[in-house]
């Protein structure tokens, strides 16, 4: 089977982000022929339509190139005020513009997230699914992955024993979904 390259976009730029910790632990459960590439979004300028006609700044070019090179995208997002973080929306906007040149279109996507609240990131994920639908990204529907951050979720950089099987089911479905759509 051909190697599968998955871009991982974490919607939090906080240094000790629960979602970043979770994402790094989750990708350790990928099979050997699946590679994760963490996409940097903290250095992107705010999207401004006036820049559509100009060559992209280096950070935006890098983002667009990394998305274009991926076979699929895993979004790992926190929930801010019942929606996705602005930095994540900005990254999505930067790689979707100028109009007609989106790097997201047709890329299979999966969404998950971690929150300290009991609802996990359910509302943020719902909003993100809506955005990804507009961008023509086929999305993994099941299993959904809304995780409450608790002690033991990530232990020494790996998914803790209590959640490992649950996360593996998501990983297996994500990999199968991305392979189904691999060019």
Residue 1 has pLDDT above 80, yes or no: no
Using pLDDT thresholds of 50, 70 and 90, give the confidence band for residue 21. Answer: very high
Q: Where are the domains of the chain?
A: 4-181
Summarised one tens digit per residue, pLDDT across range 101-136 is 999 999 999 999 999 988 889 999 999 999 999 999
Tell me the percentage of the chain whose pLDDT exceeds 90.
Answer: 93
Q: Which CATH architecture does the domain made up of 4-181 adopt?
A: 3-Layer(aba) Sandwich (3.40)
CA terminus-to-terminus distance, the chain: 12
The model's pTM is 0.96
Strand residue runs (E) in 53-160: 72-76, 109-115, 146-148, 154-155, 158-159
């Amino acid at each position: 089977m051909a190697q599968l390259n998955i871009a991982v976009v974490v919607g939090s730029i906080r240094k000790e982000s629960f979602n970043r910790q979770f994402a790094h632990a989750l990708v350790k459960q990928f099979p050997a022929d699946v590679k994760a590439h963490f996409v940097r979004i903290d250095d992107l300028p705010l999207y401004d339509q006036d820049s559509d006609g100009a060559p992209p700044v280096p950070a935006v070019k890098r983002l667009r190139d990394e998305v274009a090179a991926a076979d699929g995208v895993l979004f790992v997002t926190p929930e801010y005020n019942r929606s996705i973080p602005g930095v994540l929306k900005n990254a999505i906007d930067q790689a979707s513009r100028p109009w007609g040149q989106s790097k997201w279109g047709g890329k299979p996507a999966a969404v998950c997230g971690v929150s300290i609240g009991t609802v996990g990131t359910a509302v943020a994920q719902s909003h993100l699914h809506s955005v990804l639908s507009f961008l023509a990204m086929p999305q993994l529907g099941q299993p959904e992955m809304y995780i409450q951050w608790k002690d033991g979720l990530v232990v020494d950089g790996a998914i803790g024993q209590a959640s490992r099987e649950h996360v593996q089911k998501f990983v297996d479905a994500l990999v199968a979904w991305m392979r189904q759509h691999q060019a």
